[in-house]
Amino acid sequence: MEPMEPTTRLRLDVAYDGTSFHGWTRQPGLRTVQGELEGALATILRRDVPTLTVAGRTDAGVHASGQVAHVDLTREQGDRLARQRHKPRSADSEESLAELLKRRVNGVLGPVPDVVVTAVRLAPEGFDARFSAIWRRYRYRIADAVAAHDPLQRHRTAWHAGELDVARMDAAARSLLGLHDFAAYCKPREGATTIRTLQDFSWRRDDDGVLVAEVKADAFCHSMVRALVGASVAVGEGKLAASDLPLLRDVGERTSAFKVMPARGLTLVEVGYPPDEELASRAEQTRARRELDSSRVTVE
């Protein structure tokens, strides 16, 4: 085996409007967030384009305000990047490699892009954007009949014709919390576990009447948030009782009692990591578990 080349790991915080993307993951011939960002890195670093590792591989149309990814730069790539630094004016301190990467990537992405790198920093020892993550938090927005239907927010809000009962939806959501098999709320994927710890799931109505769900779990199986939201909507419409949601969950099979809601209303808002000193051990644990459960999926 060749000795590993020393690399510098950078953490990238990323926000995007998912409307015009075919999701996060690079796919030939399709515009994806990973493809767009790696394309920008290719422009800046010229060759040996590094691959981005991401916390939440969002689906087509899903947005993010707090996505997290990492990238490893070789010493040669770091040197190539450093040569793109502005000459510091005498009073300025030198721009860090992280600041430089942020400025260059956003510069390549254009003046009003639908994906923005909001922060870049040196990753702490042991950090892995995917495997160190201990939770993901999503938000889902619905404008029902009594809410403002704001055209300026239509890209990130699902519109619903009837009126929804938010108190019933909130009660139903909270009854699903805890460590359970969420197979009834997952699109099945070969070999992927559907056992998840749902840490937060609540509904509120904002000042403009828009219904907002906060959903937090260690990880999510495929289309889980949108299924949980769809089940909540059935409760809000009176088609299901609040107590039906844990019952459906415990049956453990997909059902036609509710619909999976559209991607448009969904945003990945935050990814949680443990304190720096636990990063490496957390990543090791996750990887070890992943070997047992060969395709642990953190996709929504």
Under 8 Å between Cβ of 62 and 23: yes
In one-letter notation, the amino acid at residue 214 is E
Please identify every residue annotated as catalytic: 59
Interface pick for its own copies out of 11, 57, 63, 102 (rule CB under 8 A): 63
Q: Got the DSSP string for 257-270?
A: SS-PPPGGGEEEEE
Interface pick for its own copies out of 39, 50, 113, 124 (rule CB under 8 A): 113
The answer to the question of residue 276 lying near its own copies (CB under 8 A) is: no
Interface pick for its own copies out of 112, 256, 275, 291 (rule CB under 8 A): 112
Tokens 């070789």, residue?
A: 74
Interacting positions 140-199 with its own copies (CB under 8 A): 148-152, 154-156, 159
Residues in contact with 28: Cβ distance below 8 Å, sequence separation at least 6, in sequence order: none
The answer to the question of residue 34 lying near its own copies (CB under 8 A) is: no
Interface pick for its own copies out of 8, 65, 197, 199 (rule CB under 8 A): 65
Tokens 């923005």, residue?
A: 116
Which range in 14-22, 41-49, 54-62, 163-171 contacts its own copies by CB under 8 A?
14-22
Which range in 115-123, 127-135, 178-186, 275-283 contacts its own copies by CB under 8 A?
115-123
Which residue, 40 or 171, is less far from its own copies as judged by CB? 40
User: If you count DSSP H runs as helices and E runs as strands, how many of each does the chain have, helices first?
Assistant: 7, 10
Which residue, 110 or 252, is less far from its own copies as judged by CB? 110
Listed as own residue / partner, the contacts of 4-7 with beta carbons closer than 8 Å and 24 or more positions apart are 5/74, 5/75, 6/74, 6/75, 7/72, 7/73, 7/74, 7/75
- Specify the 3-state DSSP secondary structure of 166: helix
Taking the CA atoms of the chain, what radius of gyration do you get in angstroms?
A: 21
The answer to the question of residue 15 lying near its own copies (CB under 8 A) is: yes
The residues that touch its own copies, with contacts defined as CB under 8 A, are: 15-17, 63, 65, 111-116, 118, 148-152, 154-156, 159, 264, 267
